[in-house]
């Protein structure tokens, strides 16, 4: 599910990405960064939508020392949550059309959501890759396939790379 390059070395596909400013709506607390503490969505949360966007904006890009938010891979307008229906949908756009890291990015988003949202939320098939190219269908098929995602997460090297994408950078 992962191409060459990225966290672990190799050549960068997009050596000079356009970098966007972080939203800076509020600082992230230590408790929010702790992967062992599940976040909850309830009536006390400002907005389920903003909470969900907050969860995924700090995910690290697999190729650059930047977040998905800084690279504009994930935008708030492409994050949808229905608290009453317990569904989540996230669309993302890699920095280049033929990004070999698209599946890894999608997998990282999916894992972050699975680890952070209450169990009642359905994320299966809820992460989509947007691209004008025909290859995006294959990536979306992989991300929507529950068995493929489970098999990918049993691969210790791939899980290590996903965890690097989800860990806080100093």
- Is residue 19 domain-resident? no
Total count of domains within the chain = 1
Half-sphere exposure of 102 (CA within 13 A, CB side): 25
Region for 24 from its dihedrals, namely left if φ exceeds 0, alpha if ψ lies in -120 to 50, beta otherwise? left
Q: What is the DSSP string of 50-108?
A: HHHHHHHHTPBPSSSSSBTTTTTSS-GGGEEEETTTTEEEEEE--SSTT-TTHHHHHHH
Contact 52, 88 (CB under 8 A): yes
Task: Say which range, 9-13, 15-19, 133-137, has the weakest mean pLDDT.
Answer: 9-13
- Is residue 13 domain-resident? no
Q: Which of 121, 35, 129 is nearest to 81 (CA)?
A: 121
Q: What is the pTM of this model?
A: 0.69
- Is residue 76 domain-resident? yes
- Is residue 9 domain-resident? no
As a whole-number percent, the residues of the chain with pLDDT over 90 amount to 17
Residue 40 exposed, middle or buried by CB count within 10 Å (0-12, 13-18, 19+): exposed
Q: What is the CATH number of the domain that holds 136?
A: 3.30.300.130
- Is residue 41 domain-resident? yes
Question: Span 63-89, mean pLDDT?
Answer: 82
- Is residue 15 domain-resident? no
Q: Give the domain extent around 42.
A: 30-166
- Is residue 71 domain-resident? yes
Task: Say which range, 50-54, 60-64, 66-70, 123-127, has the weakest mean pLDDT.
Answer: 123-127
């Amino acid at each position: 599910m992962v191409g060459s390059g990225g966290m672990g070395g190799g050549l960068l596909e997009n050596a000079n990405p356009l970098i966007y400013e972080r939203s800076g709506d509020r600082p992230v607390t230590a408790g929010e960064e702790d992967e062992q503490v599940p976040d909850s969505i309830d009536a006390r949360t400002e907005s389920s939508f903003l909470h969900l966007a907050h969860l995924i904006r700090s995910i690290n890009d697999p190729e650059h020392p930047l977040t998905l938010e800084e690279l504009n891979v994930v935008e708030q307008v492409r994050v949808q949550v229905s608290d009453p229906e317990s569904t989540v949908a996230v669309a993302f756009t890699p920095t280049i059309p033929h990004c070999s890291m698209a599946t890894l990015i999608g997998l990282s988003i999916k894992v972050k959501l699975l680890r952070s949202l209450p169990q009642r939320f359905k994320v299966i098939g809820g992460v989509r890759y947007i691209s004008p190219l025909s290859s995006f269908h294959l990536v979306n098929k992989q991300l929507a396939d529950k068995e493929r995602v489970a098999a990918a997460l049993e691969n210790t090297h791939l899980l290590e790379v996903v965890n690097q994408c989800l860990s806080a950078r100093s």
